[in-house]
Every structure is written in C-alpha cells, then in structure tokens.
Amino acid sequence: MKRLNKVLATVLASTMMATMVAGCAAGSGSGAAGGSGSDSKVIKIGSVHPLTGNYAYEAQSIINSQKLAIEEINAAGGITSMGGAKLELVVGDSQASADTGASETERLIAEGCSILTGTFQSGVTLTCMQKAEQNEVPFLVTVSNNVAMFENGFEWCFRIQPNADVFAQDFIEYISAVKTDDIKTAVLIHEDSLTGTDSGDIISENMASTGIELLDRITYSASTSTLSTEVTKLADLKPDLLITIGYFADTSLLVKELNERGIKIKMVCGVANGGISDSKFISDFGDSVENFLDLNYRFNPNSDKTKALLESYKAKYSDDMSVHAVWGYESIYVIADALERAGSSKPEDVRNAMKSTNITEHVLAQSGAITFDTKGENINAAGVLVQIQNGKHVVVYPTEFAESELRYNK
Amino acid sequence: MNAFFQASIDGVLMGGVYALAALGISLIFGVMKITNFAHGALITVGMYVTFELYVLLGITPYVALPLVMVTMFVIGYLVQKVFLNPLMGVAGHNQLLLTQGLAIVIENAILVMFSANYQSVSVPGFETAIRLGSITINKPKLVAFLFVAIIAAGIYVLLEKTDLGRAIRATSVQPEGATLMGIVVPRINQIAFGLGIVCAGVAGALLTPTQYIYPTSGNTYSLKCFVIAVFGGLGNIWGAILAGLIIGVVESFSALWLGGSWSELIVYMIFILTLIIKPTGLLGKKG
Amino acid sequence: MSTARIQEANGHAAEETNFLGSFLKKVTISTSNGKLTLPQIIIIGVISVFILLTPQMLSNYRLNLVISILTTAYFAQCWNLMSGYTGQFSFGHAAFYGIGAYTSSILFVDFGINPWIGLICGMMVSGIVAALIGYLSFHYNLKGDYFALATMAFCEIFRVIFKNTKALHAASGVSIPFSKKFALMQFGSKAGFLYVAFIMLTMITFGLYKIRRTKMGLYFVAVRENEDAARALGINAFKYKMIALIASAMLSAVGGTFYAQYYLYIDPTICFGNTVSISAITPCIIGGVGTVFGPIIGAAIIKPISEITNSALSNFVGMNMVVYGLILVIVIMVMPKGVIGLVQELRVKMGKKKKTEG
Amino acid sequence: MATLLKAVNITKRFAGLTAVDSVNLEIKEGEIVGLIGPNGAGKTTFFNSITGFYPATFGSVEFDGHNITKKTTFQNCKAGMARTFQIVQPFGQLTSLENVMVGAFNRVESYAEAEKVAREMIKFVGLEEKMNAIVADLTIGDQRKLEMARALATKPKLLLLDEVMAGLTPTEIEECVELVLKIRKSGVTILMIEHIMAALMKLSDRVIVLDHGKLIAEGKPQEITQNERVIESYLGRAYKKEA
C-alpha cells in the first residue's frame, strides 16, 4: 500500500508539473490569437453552456444544433467572402457556475474565437457577457431571457430570442385574444429563480388587463423533489386558467401531481415553459396533456427550411429537436451572415456586421427580419402560442404562423 | 381543512423516503464518523440502476429492489474499501473532501454513460392516486413508505439481534476496543458503508416512479438528509425515521402556508435549533 | 528577537547531511516553526516578481487564471485563519463572502455609495453576522462535524433569504455597471485587478505568518490542538474562537466584494452556493490545512487542473469533471496532509534513510 | 498559614449518579495535599468541579479569598490555579517550547518574554534537550513533565496534579518526586491525585481519601495508612503491593 502511494504520488506530481508547464506554454502561444486575420481558413465560434450539472440536457441540445448548423454551412462552401473559410465550434462548459463560465469565456477568447455564444442560465450569461464586453469580443445570447441583462449599455452583446418582457407581454396580449368568457380566474405557479420570477412579475402586474382574476401566485424552488402541497393549494383554488413557468423536471412533477389527483383545469398555459414545449413531455404524458398551451419562442412551423431542419436533427441525434436547440441553430446562421458581410473574422468587424444584421430568411416564428436595436436585442422577437394537439406541438396563434385552430377543453 | 389533511399525508409520505435516505447517512456517520457528501450522488446511482433494470429486463422498481440492494451494497462496500478505509486514521476534513470528489466523479460518470436526458420509469396502474373522499394518496409514495418501514425494521433487527450487528455497534462505539475483541474493523466499516449506501440506493429506486431520473437528480436530497440525520440523532435509526417524518410534514406545511420557496428556510432553522438545544438529536442519548 | 533560535535552526540544518532532505526542510514551512529560511524567501520573491510581471507576459485568459488563483488562495487563507489555525471547521464560508459581495453591490447600485465604503460596510455586516453565528455555535459548544453542518445551514438560510427578498434583488441578483475608474473600485484592466488581488493575498499571508508568532496566534493554534488544555492554561477559548471567526468573516467579505467588482454580477447562488464554500476549503486541504503557504500551493494546483481538464476535454462532455474529480480523490488519498505534509514526510523519511545508511 | 483553597459541600451529579458527594476541603498555602481513592471514587470529577471544568451541582469554592464557585476554568487559571490532566492533553503539533509558551502567556504579553519564561520552565523540569521537538513525538513521561512545565508557566499559586506519575518507570518516578518537591520549594501549593503510594507518602503533608464520592478519611500519611476504613475500602491491597 505504501509503495502504491509512493508510485501514485510520483505519477501525480509529474502529471501536475507537466500539465502546468504545458498550460503556460499554450498560454503564451495563443496570447495574440484574438484577432486572427481574414486569411485564416478556420473561423472559431465559441459556445459556453452548462454541459454538466442540472441543465446538461438542455445545454447539450443547444450544442448539437449549433454543430448541425456549422456542418450545413461548411458543406455549402463555408464563408464565401473569406475564400470559403470553414467554421469551427469551440465548446466550453460553464458547469452551471458563473465564475467557471467567465473563465471559460476567457479561454475561448484566448483560443481565438471571433464571437461567442451562450449560456442558458441568465446569471451565468450576464457574467460571461461582462467578460466578453471587457475583452471586446461580440457575444450572441443563445438562450437566456432576463430583461435587465441588456439594460447595462453593453456594446458587444446581442440576443435573438425574445426576453422575459416580450414573453409576458405577448402572453397577456394573446391570452386576452383567445380566452373564452368562461375563463374568469387564474393561478400563476412558477419556479423562483430568475427565469420564473422575471416573467412572473410582469404577468402578475398586468393580469388585470386581460379581465381574468389572478387568485394566487405560487412559487417553488426548481430543484424541489415534490410539488404535492403546491398542487393541494391549487386544487383548493380551482382556477379556470393555470399559468406555469418552469423547467422540464419541475413542470413534469407538477403535471404528474395534477394527473394523479385527477385535477382538470380548463386551460393550462405555460410561459416559455421548458416542459410543455418539449416533445418528451408529450411522449411521457400522452393524452393527459392534450390541449396544453405554451407561450414560447419557436421555429416557424410553416417554413420548408424548418421541416428539413427538424428531420436532419432527428436523423443525426435520434432525438426530437428541442425549442432551445432552435436558438443554437439560428445563432450560427446569424453569425455566418455577419461573417459573410464583414469579410473578416476580427471581433470588431464581426461586431459591426452584427449591428447591421437583417436576415429575412430564418426558421424563427417571428414576423419580420432578425435585426438588432441599439441595445442588441432582436427587434422583431416574439413568442407564439403553441398547443399540444393529437400528440403534436402545433402553433395556434398568432394566425400568421398558426398550423391549426386553438382547441378548448369542454 | 381538506388542504390540512392532504398536506399532512403528503408530508408523511415524502418524509418516509427522506427518512430512508437519511438512515444511510446516520448509519455511516454513526459507525465511521464520516460525513458522506456523496450520498446524493449515490441516490442517483440507485435511480439509474433501477432504470437500467427496467429498460433491460422490463421489471418494475419494486421487483428490481433486491437487485438494486445487492448492487448498491457492492458499490458501497468497494467505495469504503478502496477510498475510505485508507483514510480512516486521518483528519475528518479529508473524508469530507474525498466524498465530495467522489460525488463529482459519480455524477459526471453517469452523464458520460447515460447522457443528460430525462429518463423515467412507469409502473402500470400507478399513474393515478388512491382517493379517499377529497383526499388523494400517491401510490408510489405509499408503497415506498411501506418498503421504508420494512427496511428500517430489517436494519434494526440486523443491528440489534445478529452477531454482525453487534460487531457493527461495537465498532461504532469504540473501534480500538472492537479490534481487541477480534473484530476486523475495516471489514465492518465496509459492510456498514455498504448498508448505508443500500439505504441511499433503495430511496433512489423508490423515488423513480415519482420523479425524473437525470445525473443530478439525487442532489436535492443530499443536504436534507444531513439535516434529518442530525435532527434524529446521528447513528439512531428510529430517530432518523421520526425526524424524516417531521421534516416531511414541516416542509409540506411551510409550503402550504409560506410558499415552497421559504420551506427550505424553516427546515434549516429547525436544524440549527436542534444543534443548539439538543445536539444529540431527537432520540439521541443525552451528552 | 531570538538570535538563539536562528542559530539553533542553522545548527540543526548543518547537521543534516542529506542535501535534498535539508533543502526540503528549508523550503517547507511547518505549522510549528515561524521563521522563513533564505531559500524560502528567495522562492517567494521569485514567484512574486513573476506574478507581478505576468500582465506583460500573458494573454488575458492566462491573466484571468492567475487572478482566479490569487483570489481563490485569498479566500482559502480566510478559511485557513479560522478553520486551519483555530480548528473550527466551517462548511459555510460562502455566507460571509456573499454578504460582503451583496453589501457593497447593493449599496452601490441602489444607494450610490462608493464601493470602497461599501467594502468597509460589507466587512462590518459580515463581522456582525459572524458574531451572531459564532455566539450561537460556540456558546452552545458546537464542535467538529456539528459546527461544520451548522455553518452550512446558516449559509443556506442566507441563500434562501436573498433569493426570496425583493429588497435584496431576489433571484435577479445585482448587476454592477462597468466603469474603468479606480474610485469605483474597478481597475480598468486585468493588470489592475491582478495587482489588487496580489496585494490582498500578500497581506493576508503575511498577517497569518506574523500572527503565528504572537500571543493571539499561539492561542488560536492551542485552541485547535486541544481546547480543554487551552482553557486550563487561562485561554478564553470562546473569545479566541470568536475573534478568529469574525476576523475570517470580515476578510472573506473583502473577497466577496472583489468578486462582485471583478465579475460585475452576483446572484444568490453565485454568492451563497455550496460550491463557493467548497472552493475555500479545497485549496487548503490540497496544500495543507493550518499551514501558511498551503492554501496558496493548493490554489495554484487545483485551479490550473480544472482549467486544463476543461479545455483538454471540452469535446467530451462530462469527462472533464470526471477527471477533475478523480484527480481530487487521488490527491487526497496520496496526500492526506496536503502537499506540505507530504513534503515534510518525505523529508523525515530521507533523514531517517541517511541515518540508517550512515 | 493562610487558607488558599476552601471547598465546601462540593457535590456533583451526572444524570442521577452522584460522583462527588458533599466533600469539604481546605488547603493552606505551601502544603502538598494528596488525594487518593479507588478507581471511580470521584477524584478527577472533584478536580474538575474545583477548577471549573464543569461546575459543581452544589457547594462553593473559595480561592485566595475570592468566591470562584461560578468562575470558569480559564478565569481560575488567571486567578492562579493550574492543573495537569490524568490523560495528558498536549498541543500535539506544537513544539515543547510553544506548548509551555501557551502557559506563559497567562501572565506575560510579549512573545519574547513568554519565550524566556517558557525556556526557564522547560529547564526547570529538565527537558531542555527537547525544546524544539514536536510534542506528539515525545514519550509519555516527557509529556507529563512538559504538562507540569506548562502549568507552572502560568505562574500558579495552586497546582493540581492528576496522576502525573502514572505509567512512569521507577527512575522517572524518582525524578518526578524531586520535581514536585522543587515546585513546592518555589512557593507553589500542590493538590495531587496519585496512585503511586510510596511517592505520595514521601511527598504529602496531608492525605484525603475519597470513596464513592464521599470523603472518608483525612490526616497525615501515616495516620491514613492505619485508618481501618481506608484500608478496607482501598489501601489494603494497593499499599501492600507498593510496599
């Protein structure tokens, strides 16, 4: 045992030394790699997501779709304005922690990424954006809907997805439009992290304008192991409309409890809900979640491009493409477009090109082009109302994107 | 009133599962004075073992239970043998960081092997709850509660009525003395750790019909188990059970009256009060 | 102060015929003797100069790594003061770190109070909280694992409170506007932060080194080694545990404010998460608990390892953490007393070998 | 001679068990008092009650003219009461010098001065060879001596020794006896628990005997050896063995 220890110690010590030396050498080598010239054949795009930890599943799907987009672009000849330069995704793992996210951001910048994408959790995203801003490298948010993030006067950051404010406003608008007269009361239930509270606040403030009475607002911690008491509360209130904001696991817990107790609610509507908009949700709950609604970002169901994308994703990863993944996919196309126009992979040129983005052909369910305002937010970002019908997600509102009529529970 | 009864029942049932997981912590701490921070990760392992058996053999978690127990025992036995026994003599903070390191390894090894996808196990006939008037009782949790009672009783008998149990208890009181009596302490430690991990694994297995399985799904229980184990009195079986039930009910009622976000606060306050007022826990002997 | 002692030490070293043994002896600093030898001073000097020159030599990313090593080492030293020196093992040091970060950030963002003043306020608030936690724990004689679990519970309580209280920004956290003004405690470039972090670490390390040779320092260690004996020798153990805890908490608060000013965004999990507390403990255990330089050595090992596993295995999701965890486990198994403990053991072994051979 | 310690009616109960039962004791300045009794007679508990480790259930203690019943250990130490432990309680990872310095700081503030006092005390107990050794590496005998040096460094008026000679070799016992006499000469009053009867006979001016928590005899060593009750309860076997 002692001998073993000694051997282990020696191995360990030498590995440490070697890695440290290697690390330093690598560091000095890539020191000035930040702005590799336009003649380079490979353009690096950084991607920081929580690949380990609680959000590993969602993060993985985003990375998958980014890789898919890059393959498509490279197969189609890369960035033509730069002599067919190829794109490469450099992946960083934020481990769901802000300072790891920040240091991964720094690493990807050091490795010469022209632009970064990330990171799913708003807190981590914000920290990473601060780092990108300081290093003067553009940062395109894939998924993170916190409003305040873009109120800091950042000049290098962009976001194509709708923020929590847009979600909540759209929700209020759409629900006013589609509600029937027998829907008089509502309960809002959401998880208590940034994602839930952001939209939750705006909805509870504006609920009155829809003419529906908000009976209660129930919050819980997303990592909870049970929601039975919350559902008990809910059962006592008997709302006509249940509004739920949460991730996949907690929303599933909620639905499980509702089903077990046979609680039927006239209308269930999520807001950017990680559960209801996931196809696994349908396969797990079947008929019981029929007619559930979700106000969420989504791909445009009526475009051929989308249909092809969904098929190729499924073929490649044998899993349905999640709603989050769409933003990973589209983010790469937005970047490729900027690179094409910039004709350079210098972060500054990419940023300037990003500012004048105007993409009309995209897979998103939003009317109008992808184009950024001065803050860096996508002006036309919008949510759509999705419903589960016959075991499929279909868009039911606004009519521009609708695949089907909204169905009501009797 | 209805909500009151419902919350009590939900609390008690959830408390049963907490109690079982905490029992493992209590046993491990009681015998080896190890604060096992890998407990949550091992609960997850229990879930995945159950899930794999469900996928491969198509058996429900309840049928799979004996196999889960054996697997978990072996895992626990080996973890103690390979990682913890060599560290038994050194300062406690090493074991703490070691179990923390193991938790990282286990959690991410699962991620590598099974991907981060949400997995679930369904038991036919268990999708709906039992109804008694307006009160509903969750079937998987009810069954889990029964299993918890059986396993707790089993561990009680093992500890109190068998030679092995006596050896374990002797080791927990005084390892040096036990050595003098001819007890092979390292092996007893391995068995005790194995048993503790069986508790974690069974808790995980029993939870599979009620929740999703993903690489970090056991983590939620980790801290709560410590609270319960200390609250009940470290090393005390009935204390852990009682404390589990109390914490389950407290959590349920604080969620009802204060909201789920604050229920954790109440649990931790109870914990600190226990430490201050009676550090030996509910049923622990006076210090 | 004690020339006799130095002579003694020198004499002792001269006896050591084994070159490597005597070298190791000179390089390691045990918990028990307080004087630096010349080789140690030289090594420290060289490393310091190297660190101070890094802004000229390294990329931003490497600088970020150096800064994070320095701040991690600083936070670990804070923990070392109370848990390493005084033996009160805290598992919830994030509480003090978080309170420091939140106090200065909220004062700045909501009330326009300068972060430098906020830093002082953070130290005060953290000190008061520590006094409260310390009183409850020490007055009721919580020790060992029980104390560790209590601190962890206190930390969780803070996390829940901060997460759910609107006035404290709840889950939204606090985002600090970016500026380049020294007056606002932002130093424009990474180099500025690096120097500040270096000064913080140097000061706390120097303090820990010095205090070891004072009455208070000796009393801290005495309480750790044997509280009953300490009390029998006239030491008010409660008082010294309180001093160590409060001092450690106030210094941790500085680390928290630094984090907030450097990363410009904090939220309840970033500040009060379990991983934050663990990040203070890990370097100490790797380097050597209760030693002056252990936490620095530990941070200098563990941070690069996590960087390297992240970058080397970035395309193999999860493996980065598996390897990191395994390294952690192996390190603890091979060096239960940390790097410094291992080096001391090797030294003793080599000394003995020489004796038996001779 | 003035009374240094006056313990009245000291009673200590643990969960129903009475470990010390109404014990009265008075010690005069300059005395060496021996405390004997069979195992479990409550001797160490009595020490702990007097020194404030755990306060007595009933009774009062007066030390050097002050009532110290409610005082804690460290306050008593400041007032001039020092003790050693039945099982040595060293600061294992510190050097001998540092161990004793901890005691010395009871009276002095500066590090240099404490070091001076500690060196003197270590010389006093004859451990100057091991000044810089890590205490955990010392023999039990040396650790006991060191513990005495540590206690003496606090500059006590009263020193309570709890079986300092247990487990020592005959030569070491010899040295220890000399040491205790030397301590007395330096003006320190001593109360000692001891099982080594021969040593106790040589050292003590007075011996008190505890049995089942009660004081059963008190007097000069010779008187005690002839006391029927003492012989019956304890001394018979032990004294014969020693003799």
- Within a domain: A215: yes
The residue in chain C having the minimum alpha-carbon distance to the alpha carbon of residue B101 is C325
Residue D65, C-beta contacts closer than 8 angstroms, at least 6 positions apart: none
**For chain C, domain boundaries:** 3-357
The structure tokens listed for A256 are 């499980």
Number of domains comprising chain B: 1
Query: Mean pLDDT lowest for which of A266-270, B98-102, C51-55, D232-236?
Result: D232-236
User: Does B261 contact C163 at a Cβ distance shorter than 8 Å?
Assistant: yes
User: Does C337 contact B90 at a Cβ distance shorter than 8 Å?
Assistant: yes
Taking the Cβ of residue C337 and every Cβ of chain D, the question of whether any pair is shorter than 8 Å is answered with: no
Q: Return d(Cα A240, Cα A93) in angstroms, integer.
A: 42
What's the sign of the alpha-carbon dihedral C16, C21, C25, C27? positive
Phi, psi of D214 (to 5 degrees): -105, 150
Cβ-Cβ contacts under 8 Å between B and C: the total is: 122
- The residue among D49, D53, D74 with the most chain C CBs within 10 A of its CB, best to mutate, is D74
Taking the Cβ of residue C289 and every Cβ of chain B, the question of whether any pair is shorter than 8 Å is answered with: yes
pLDDT per position as a tens digit, B77-125: 999 999 999 988 787 788 888 999 999 999 999 999 998 888 989 888 8
Q: Please name the chains neighbouring D, where neighbouring means 3+ C-beta pairs under 8 angstroms.
A: C
User: Does C163 contact A95 at a Cβ distance shorter than 8 Å?
Assistant: no
Q: Return d(Cα C53, Cα A231) in angstroms, integer.
A: 60
Taking the Cβ of residue B119 and every Cβ of chain A, the question of whether any pair is shorter than 8 Å is answered with: no
Taking the Cβ of residue A77 and every Cβ of chain C, the question of whether any pair is shorter than 8 Å is answered with: no
Output DSSP code: residue D205.
Answer: S
The structure tokens listed for C168 are 């404290």
In the prediction, which pLDDT does C146 show?
A: 87
- Whether D103 and C233 have beta carbons less than 8 Å apart is answered as yes
The structure tokens listed for A207 are 């609920």
Q: Return d(Cα C96, Cα C198) in angstroms, integer.
A: 21
Considering only the beta carbons, identify the residue of A1, A229, A261 that sits closest to B129: A261
- Within a domain: B282: no
A59 shares its domain with A144: yes
Contacts of A284 in chain B (CB under 8 A): 120
- The residue among C314, C346, C350, C352 with the most chain A CBs within 10 A of its CB, best to mutate, is C314
Phi, psi of D192 (to 5 degrees): -130, 135
**């050693």: which residue's tokens?**
D84
- Does ipTM come in above 0.90? no
Taking the Cβ of residue A66 and every Cβ of chain C, the question of whether any pair is shorter than 8 Å is answered with: no
A206 shares its domain with A310: no
The residue in chain A having the minimum alpha-carbon distance to the alpha carbon of residue C71 is A99
pLDDT per position as a tens digit, B28-77: 988 888 889 999 999 999 999 999 999 999 999 999 999 999 999 999 99
The structure tokens listed for A303 are 């475009």
- Winning range, highest mean pLDDT, from B83-97, B264-278, D12-26, D100-114: D100-114
A81 shares its domain with A220: no
- Within a domain: A52: yes
pLDDT tier for residue D236 given thresholds of 50, 70 and 90: low
The structure tokens listed for A119 are 């990171």
Taking the Cβ of residue B94 and every Cβ of chain A, the question of whether any pair is shorter than 8 Å is answered with: no
- Quote helix, strand, coil % in chain A, to nearest 5: 45, 20, 35
In the prediction, which pLDDT does A14 show?
A: 52
- Within a domain: B35: yes
A170 shares its domain with A156: no
Residue B36, C-beta contacts closer than 8 angstroms, at least 6 positions apart: B24, B25, B28, B29, B99, B196
Q: Return d(Cα B243, Cα A292) in angstroms, integer.
A: 39
Considering only the beta carbons, identify the residue of B7, B116, B118 that sits closest to A229: B7
Which bin fits A136, alpha (ψ -120 to 50), beta or left (φ > 0)?
left
Considering only the beta carbons, identify the residue of A1, A225, A260 that sits closest to B220: A225
A86 shares its domain with A180: no
pLDDT tier for residue C346 given thresholds of 50, 70 and 90: confident
- Within a domain: B283: no
Taking the Cβ of residue C320 and every Cβ of chain A, the question of whether any pair is shorter than 8 Å is answered with: yes
**């110690």: which residue's tokens?**
A9
The structure tokens listed for B242 are 């009682």
A99 shares its domain with A192: no
The residue in chain A having the minimum alpha-carbon distance to the alpha carbon of residue C180 is A134
Q: Which residues pair with A113 in a beta bridge?
A: A44
CATH code, domain carrying A259: 3.40.50.2300
- Within a domain: B45: yes
Give the length of chain C: 358
For C9, half-sphere exposure in the C-beta direction (CA atoms, 13 angstrom radius) is 15
- Within a domain: B74: yes
Taking the Cβ of residue C60 and every Cβ of chain A, the question of whether any pair is shorter than 8 Å is answered with: yes
Compute the mean pLDDT over every residue in chain C, rounded to the nearest whole number. 86
Query: Mean pLDDT lowest for which of C81-85, C172-176, D107-111, D154-158?
Result: C172-176
Number of domains comprising chain A: 2
The structure tokens listed for B71 are 């697997």
Region C15-26: mean pLDDT is: 46
CATH code, domain carrying B231: 1.10.3470
- Within a domain: A334: yes
Q: Return d(Cα C69, Cα C198) in angstroms, integer.
A: 10
Considering only the beta carbons, identify the residue of A218, A233, A262 that sits closest to B3: A233
For C260, half-sphere exposure in the C-beta direction (CA atoms, 13 angstrom radius) is 36
In the prediction, which pLDDT does D167 show?
A: 82
Taking the Cβ of residue C53 and every Cβ of chain D, the question of whether any pair is shorter than 8 Å is answered with: no
Residues of B contacting chain C (CB within 8 angstroms) = 29, 33, 35, 83, 86-87, 90-94, 96-98, 100-105, 107-109, 111-112, 215, 223, 226-227, 230, 261-262, 264-265, 268-269, 271-272, 275-277, 279
A73 shares its domain with A156: yes
- Within a domain: A5: no
The residue in chain B having the minimum alpha-carbon distance to the alpha carbon of residue A96 is B216
The structure tokens listed for C76 are 């670990």
Residues of D contacting chain C (CB within 8 angstroms) = 51, 53, 72-74, 77-78, 82-83, 85, 89-95, 98, 101-103, 105-106, 109, 111-112, 114-115, 132, 134, 150-151, 154
Considering only the beta carbons, identify the residue of C154, C163, C336 that sits closest to B94: C336
DSSP C189-253: SHHHHHHHHHHHHHHHHHHHHHHTTSHHHHHHHHHHH-HHHHHHTT--HHHHHHHHHHHHHHHHH
A390 shares its domain with A267: yes
**């044997």: which residue's tokens?**
C226
Which of A42-52 are b and which e, b meaning 16 or more Cβ less than 10 Å from the residue's Cβ?
ebbbbbbbbbb
Contacts of C136 in chain B (CB under 8 A): 272, 276
A324 shares its domain with A292: no
**Chain B closest CA to C93's CA: distance in Å?**
15
Domain span at A108 = 37-162+302-379
Q: Return d(Cα D51, Cα C279) in angstroms, integer.
A: 42
**Chain D closest CA to C281's CA: distance in Å?**
21
Phi, psi of C181 (to 5 degrees): -90, 135
Region B261-284: mean pLDDT is: 87
Contacts of B25 in chain C (CB under 8 A): none
Please state whether at least 3 CB pairs lie below 8 Å between chains A and D: no
Share of chain C above pLDDT 90, in %: 61
End-to-end CA distance of chain A: 72
- Whether A293 and A186 have beta carbons less than 8 Å apart is answered as no
Please state whether at least 3 CB pairs lie below 8 Å between chains A and B: yes
- Within a domain: A18: no
Considering only the beta carbons, identify the residue of A20, A91, A104 that sits closest to C315: A91
A263 shares its domain with A245: yes
In the prediction, which pLDDT does D238 show?
A: 52
Q: Return d(Cα C81, Cα C290) in angstroms, integer.
A: 8
- Closest by CA position to A165, among listed A199, A191, A195: A199
A144 shares its domain with A196: no
In the prediction, which pLDDT does C125 show?
A: 98
- Whether C233 and D82 have beta carbons less than 8 Å apart is answered as yes
The H helix count followed by the E strand count for chain C is 16, 2
- Going residue by residue through chain A, which has 410 residues, state the pLDDT in tens, using 9 for 90 and above: 445 555 555 555 555 555 444 444 444 434 334 444 444 589 999 999 999 988 888 899 999 999 999 999 999 999 999 999 999 999 999 998 998 999 999 999 999 999 999 899 888 999 999 889 888 999 999 999 888 889 888 999 999 999 999 999 999 999 999 999 999 999 999 998 888 888 899 999 999 999 999 999 999 988 888 898 999 999 889 999 999 999 888 999 999 999 888 899 999 999 999 899 988 899 889 899 999 999 999 999 888 889 999 999 999 998 888 888 999 999 999 999 999 999 999 999 999 999 999 999 999 999 899 999 999 999 999 999 999 999 999 999 899 899 999 999 87
Taking the Cβ of residue C351 and every Cβ of chain A, the question of whether any pair is shorter than 8 Å is answered with: no
Taking the Cβ of residue B174 and every Cβ of chain A, the question of whether any pair is shorter than 8 Å is answered with: no
pLDDT per position as a tens digit, B127-176: 788 888 888 898 999 999 999 999 999 999 999 999 999 999 999 888 88
- The residue among B126, B127, B258 with the most chain A CBs within 10 A of its CB, best to mutate, is B127
Contacts of A57 in chain B (CB under 8 A): 115-118, 214
Please give the model's pTM, rounded to 2 decimal places. 0.89
Q: Please name the chains neighbouring A, where neighbouring means 3+ C-beta pairs under 8 angstroms.
A: B, C
Q: What is the largest CA-CA distance in chain B?
A: 61
**Chain B closest CA to C317's CA: distance in Å?**
7
- Whether A186 and A212 have beta carbons less than 8 Å apart is answered as yes
Q: Please name the chains neighbouring B, where neighbouring means 3+ C-beta pairs under 8 angstroms.
A: A, C
CATH number for domain D1-80+157-176+186-243, candidates 3.40.309.10, 3.40.50.300, 3.30.70.100, 3.40.228.10: 3.40.50.300
In the prediction, which pLDDT does A33 show?
A: 40
Output DSSP code: residue D54.
Answer: S
In the prediction, which pLDDT does C186 show?
A: 81
The structure tokens listed for C104 are 């200065």
User: Does B35 contact C163 at a Cβ distance shorter than 8 Å?
Assistant: no
In the prediction, which pLDDT does C35 show?
A: 66
A269 shares its domain with A152: no
The residue in chain C having the minimum alpha-carbon distance to the alpha carbon of residue A9 is C334
Region C157-177: mean pLDDT is: 91
In the prediction, which pLDDT does A12 show?
A: 54
The amino acid sitting at B158 is: L
